[in-house]
Amino acid sequence: MQPQQQKPLEGGDVNTARHLSCPWGAGYWRSASWTQQQWRLGTLPSGDRAEAGGCQAWGATAAAEIPDFASYPKDLQRFLLSAACRRFPRWLPGGGVGLVASCSDCSESDVPYLLLAVKSEPGRFAERQAVRETWGSPTPGVRLLFLLGSPVGEGGPDLGSLVAWESRRYSDLLLWDFLDVPFNRTLKDLLLLAWLGHDCPDVSFVLHVQDDAFVHIPALLDHLQALPPTWARSLYLGEVFTQAKPLRKLGGPFYVPRSFFEGGYPAYASGGGYVIAGRLAPWLLQAAARVAPFPFDDVYTGLCFRALGLVPRAHPGFLTAWPADRTTTPCALRDLLLVRPLSPQQSIGLWKRLQDPRLRC
């Protein structure tokens, strides 16, 4: 199936990605590596690791310009060296059984209104099964997919045979052959966007969500269906952070060295769960080719939306940092769209209580 032809994008034009060369006008930013890369960036290389001047060479050149690169955490070093490498083959179960079907394989009436794109990791079988048995269970107009890297991990057990069995059993795993570590979550976004453009271009909305979330699907569908058409066409919806800044605590999961990035982040929706309009997929891919790599998937998505001239819309029903001591009850969830993190056991228990016909709030 040929990719859908891009329609004009109301509220912004992908060519505005060039303004990210100095996105907030703070002159002192120019000493930071990310800003220098963005100033010079035309488009990221399209070549693979083996090609001269390809993505690996781009990363090596960028790293060589950071004076204290050797002091960066190893995971961050590895990300920056390969951050421009964005073309990875699918990881296929033996015999190719269990491949995810294209939306074009369905009748026009079966094209999903809402795609649930759940970021998971190969070893998180319990979390995926909890999603399948609860909020990700079959619903008209809704399709469930899990996004994973290679089950052949680094320094851990080879989960290939188990993941292959799961893929054959459920046919809902989109698998790619890259190392599945937190700094590579952006790859899941970008590879999903490419898959959407080719295999599911007519989906109305896509929920990007972590596998430890609980989504109130009926409430989310009601909200999406009530949106004004002008909002729906350029939707980027979630729990929005408007004044977030890099964390400088060495050893923390969101540590960013000053030599890499200075200033504040753009407005962005928390990566725990947010919704985008399906028609934006090709535009976001085009913008991403013009935006210097950044290690955190949700911040990078915010940068790409800013490149399109679009901003996130906040909804109080997205709570992506649910307090551990807060009660998780059906009535507490009544006015919410998404909460996380919940354990598989919490999600299953909450789901069962929501299905109780005697429930009264």
pLDDT in tens, 136-170: 999 999 999 999 999 987 777 889 999 999 999 99
CA distance 144 to 137: 8
CA distance 116 to 114: 6
CATH of 86-354, one of 3.40.50.10300, 3.40.50.150, 3.90.550.50, 3.40.190.10: 3.90.550.50
The band of 332, judged by pLDDT with boundaries at 50, 70 and 90, is: confident
Least reliable range by pLDDT among 17-26, 65-74, 309-318? 17-26
Q: pTM for this one?
A: 0.91
pLDDT at 208: 98
Closest CA relative to residue 179, chosen from 82, 112, 254: 82
**Any bridge partners for residue 236, and if so which?**
276
Q: How many helices (H) and strands (E) does the chain have?
A: 12, 10
pLDDT at 97: 62
CA distance 305 to 23: 12
Beta strand ranges found along the chain (DSSP E)? 114-119, 142-150, 173-179, 205-210, 214-215, 236-241, 268-277, 313-314, 318-319, 338-339
Residue 43 pLDDT > 80: yes
Own/partner contacts of 347-353, CB < 8 Å, gap of 24 or more, are 347/130, 347/131, 347/134, 347/135, 347/214, 348/130, 348/133, 348/134, 350/134, 350/214, 351/133, 351/134, 351/135, 351/214, 353/329
Least reliable range by pLDDT among 110-114, 116-120, 154-158, 253-257? 154-158
